[in-house]
A = this chain, B = another copy of it.
Amino acid sequence: MNPLENIRVVLVGTLYTGNVGSSCRAMANMGIRHLRLAAPNLQNDWEEGRRLAVHATGILDAREEFATFEEAVADCVAVVGTTAREGLYRQHVKAPRDCAADILSLAATGPVALVFGREDKGLLNEEVAQCTHLIRIPVDAGYTSINLSQAVLITCYEFFAASGRYQPPHEKAPPAPQAQKMQLMKNWAAMLEEIGFMKPGQADHFMQGFHRVFSRGVFTKDDAALLLGVARQAIWAKKNAEKGTHDEDGCGDSDV
């Protein structure tokens, strides 16, 4: 069972449909699909909300609405409030990255509410007092007021990351082994002598520079194959030119 399925994003007293719509899109990006509105206080119609939801209108249309905060979280085994403020009832606030994994393991046992307050004044003290967990998104001290849908995004992002459902991209080619890298150095030394870039006996000096560049940049077998192709081709071109002929099609076929 995917614990993200048990996450309920609960927006409390939200004022603008645009923030609801943007939150839907952010949720969809992070694999979280259940939206609840608690005591919504919407000041505009759904045109903007639907527009900003883009292709996440399915989440918007499937939303549940509740008259009160209490009803919206009544079935939840954990109620995670987000708060930007310090002070009363907020002693045990944590950064989302530091508690997402623990809360997600609760979500494997039942519904978990991620609760976001009003655009203008956040969660009220009596709402914070009902939360089982409190999180505060890390922000710069110079500008701590974060947009509602941006807060939804970062919170959902941390839960998505904690779920392990995202596989970070990695290099498709396998890493180049040392023997291939040393072959690269040897073939380049031969090529550089052949084209007259360096004289015999200067290799030790010059090759240090290429070794430095290649050590930083050549990670995969494809990388090494690419540069081995250059050495092969340069030698071929020079020898071919000595014979008084030239073949424009003799280029390498390595991957970029």
Does A3 interact with chain B (Cβ within 8 Å)? Answer: no
Assess the A168–B31 pair: CB atoms within 8 A. no
A103 to B: closest C-beta gap in Å:
14
A92 to B168: give the CA distance in the assembly, Å.
11
Q: How many copies make up the complex?
A: 2
Count A interface residues, CB 8 Å: 46
Taken residue by residue from 120 to 161, chain A's Cβ proximity to chain B (1 for < 8 Å, 0 otherwise) reads as 000000000000000010111011111101100110010011
Q: Which residues of B contact A256 (CB under 8 A)?
A: 89
The closest CB in chain B to the CB of A136 belongs to B169
- A144–B29 CB distance below 8 A: yes
A140 B92 Cβ-Cβ under 8 A: no
Do the beta carbons of B168 and A95 come within 8 Å of each other? yes
The residue that A169 contacts in the complex, of B93, B140, B169, B219, with Cβ under 8 A, is B93
Whether the pair A145, B30 counts as a contact (CB closer than 8 A) is no
Known: A29-B144, A153-B154. A169 touches B94 (CB 8 A): yes
Question: Complex: how many Å from CA A143 to CA B143?
Answer: 30
Q: Which of A154, A161, A256 has the most CB of B within 10 A?
A: A154
Judged by a CB distance under 8 angstroms, whether A34 is at the interface is no
Contact of A91 among B91, B144, B171 (CB under 8 A): B171
CB distance from A43 to the nearest CB of B (A): 15
Does residue A26 face the partner (Cβ distance < 8 Å to B)? yes
Choose from B54, B92, B93, B150 the contact partner of A26 (Cβ within 8 Å): B150
Interface centre among A56, A94, A139, A171 (most CB of B within 10 A): A139
Please give, as numbers and ranges, the residues of chain B lying within 8 Å of A173 by CB-CB distance.
91
Query: When chains A and B are docked, how far (Å) is the Cα of A138 from the Cα of B30?
Result: 8
Residue of B nearest to A140 (CB): B31
